[in-house]
Amino acid sequence: MIRSLYSGVSGIRNHQVRMDTLSNNISNVNTTGFKASRANFQDSLNQTLRGGGAGRNPMQAGTGITVGSIGTKMEQGPLQMTGRTLDLAIQGNGFFRVSDGTNEYYTRDGAFFIDNNNYIVNSGGLRLQNDGGDMIFDGPVASLSVDKAGLITYYTTDDPNTANTGLNVQVFTFTNQEGMTKAGNSLYKHDTLVTGDPEAHTPGEEGAGTIESGYLEMSNADLSEEFTNMITTQRGYQASARLITVSDSLLEELIQLKR
pLDDT(49) > 90: no
Mean pLDDT lowest among 123-127, 144-148, 239-243, 254-258? 254-258
* Whether residue 167 sits in one domain with residue 101: yes
Top-confidence residue, 218 or 6: 218
Q: What is the pLDDT of residues 138-174, one digit of tens each?
A: 999 999 999 999 999 999 998 888 999 989 999 999 9
Q: 5 or 100: which carries more pLDDT confidence? A: 100
Q: Are residues 37 and 99 in the same domain?
A: no
Are 88 and 39 members of one domain? Answer: no
pLDDT of residue 251: 84
**Shared-domain flag, residues 191 and 112:** yes
Same domain flag for 46 and 87: no
Q: Are residues 179 and 225 in the same domain?
A: no
Compute the mean pLDDT over every residue in the chain, rounded to the nearest whole number.
Answer: 92
From the list 105, 104, 139, the residue with the least C-alpha distance to 119 is 139
At 183-193, the pLDDT tens digits run 999 999 999 99
pLDDT at 233: 95
pLDDT at 45: 79
70/87 same-domain check? no
For residues 118, 119, 122, 126, the Cα torsion angle rounded to the nearest 10 degrees is: -140
Q: 210 and 191 in one domain? A: yes
pLDDT tens-digit profile of 90-141? 999 999 999 999 999 999 999 999 999 999 999 999 999 999 999 999 999 9
- Quote the pLDDT of residue 56: 84
Overall pTM > 0.75: yes
How much of the chain exceeds pLDDT 90, in percent?
A: 78
Residue range(s) defining the domain that contains residue 45 = 2-50+59-74+221-258
Burial class from Cβ neighbours inside 10 Å (0-12, 13-18, 19+) for residue 162 reads: exposed
Q: Please indicate, yes or no, whether residues 90 and 170 belong to a single structural domain of this protein.
A: yes
Q: Is the pLDDT of residue 88 over 90?
A: yes
